[in-house]
Structure 1
């Protein structure tokens, strides 16, 4: 995409504002939970956690609202949720994590004799998992991915986005609501960024498939108890899960390269 000088400056400003908001907002909500009376109420704590998790989408909404006003925000939301809805991609996004994470759990049992325990999904957990449908993808895939893609090609952009996405989870770690092997987690975020990009591109920018993918992945991670803390400290299930994501990412990279070669041959 070729941008004018003014458009490039505006785009960079939007990226800067988005990144500032996406990293500061969750910290603000964490501090409210930890150091104010709001954190003493279970209901208010859950609401603050929801706002903390939704920082990417909130940051995107605030950024678009600031730079493009309410009309621009309305158009942005239509483009991301209404236009080019792809039911087939939604189905693929729903079942892909089941295959990857289910296989990781199965292989860890068959080949490493790790008991195939399943997680208990309480009402609170179900609520948090369902929140993934709207909490993040409007920001990461709906806004930031497009902005970053103006400057980086399809093979490099998911790496940068994946690293930033992984680092963004810092607030979960400092508040003690999340635990995962950091290196594997970062690799998983990078791999997932390729998959999410491919899904969003196939849906022509509609983020419903990516949102369903995020929901399904979180659901399967909880249902199949994939984290080390649920497997007597063993990282094997998580390692197999990330390996599966890397294989899926490698397939999307291969398809991207082949598509580029085909397009060049047609020129």
Structure 2
């Protein structure tokens, strides 16, 4: 059988196809919500839409890496031994950010509860739902492929900014369903993009140190889980996260600029 022709612009093709798959699925999510279908169906379709990047990467894989097997590629992304110190540091940083935001909300919140989750059962369910409808479906394509592919040409910082920007723009349909308009939508979009890019830089630093896809999955999961578990004004929450995650990103660059500012020789 003739080998398929290799794509000239694999990352661009990946980003385009990811959006082509995501938009129709997101419209289905909206239709399921508007028509009042059961919650489980809404959650299922929403979860599928979050996996659009994985679907796109799987479809393009034969033309991105001709002759390789998709399953083997995926296994390689998880084969390296996880560093306990890296995981502990990630958890400590994100928990500290969560606590700082929590205390700020507590001092300015007038409602009966600052949490969206009221029981251990709800907490566990939300944790699993968040994992399935975000980190597990997104990281293989965005970090496991696109980020590392760009690092063959650009420095980790530039690659992070590029992927962070397009990863953020992929969320555009979600912005339009927040109910924000005018200046509120502009503020939300700006802080959202700042948070996404800063988070991508943090992922890149720790993923470079410990090249196992579990690392960006953990960072992504903790971000989504923590921000979703706090009640409060969404614009304020995303603004606080933008400021604090950006501060961490800058600090990581200053501490070890070689991990971020300079092009690595090979990205596997």
Range of TM-score over shorter length: 0.7 to 0.9
Aligned to 1:171: 173
CA spacing shift, 1:191–1:24, aligned 2, 3 Å = same
Residues 83-94 of structure 1 aligned to structure 2 (within 5 Å): 83-94=80-91
Deviations 1:43-84 (A, max 9, x none): 333221111111122222222244436843123112212234
86-95 vs 166-175, greater mean Cα deviation? 86-95
**For the structure 1 residues 63 and 95, does the alpha-carbon distance in structure 2 shift closer, same or farther, using more than 3 Å as the test?**
farther
Give how far 1:17 is off.
2.2
Cα distance in 1, alignment partners of residues 250 and 174 from structure 2: 28
1:96 pairs, out of 86, 89, 93, with 93
2:241 corresponds to 1:244 = no
1:194-247 deviation line (CA, Å, top 9, x unaligned): 10101110112x11011011111111111233x524xxxxx4443222211011
Match of 2:192 among 165, 185, 193: 185
Q: TM-score scaled by structure 1?
A: 0.78
Residues of 2 paired with 1:71 and 1:151: CA distance? Answer: 22
Residue 10 of structure 1, CA deviation? 4.4
Structure 2 residue aligned with 1:63: 60
In the aligned structure 2, how far is the partner of 1:162 from the partner of 1:147?
14
- Give how far 1:35 is off: 5.2
More helix by percentage: 1
Corresponding residue for residue 216 of structure 1: 222
What is the DSSP-based 3-state SS (H/G/I as helix, E as strand, rest coil) of the residue aligned with 1:218?
Answer: helix
Q: Is the 8 A contact 1:33 1:39 kept in 2?
A: no
Match for residue 15 of structure 2 among 13, 19, 23: 19
Partner SS state of residue 152, structure 1: coil
Kept after mapping to 2: 8 A contact 1:93/1:216: no
1:117 is aligned to 2:119: no
Matched, 1:128 2:125: no
Distance 1:169 1:82, change over 3 A: same
TM-score (norm 2): 0.78
SS of 1:81's partner is: coil
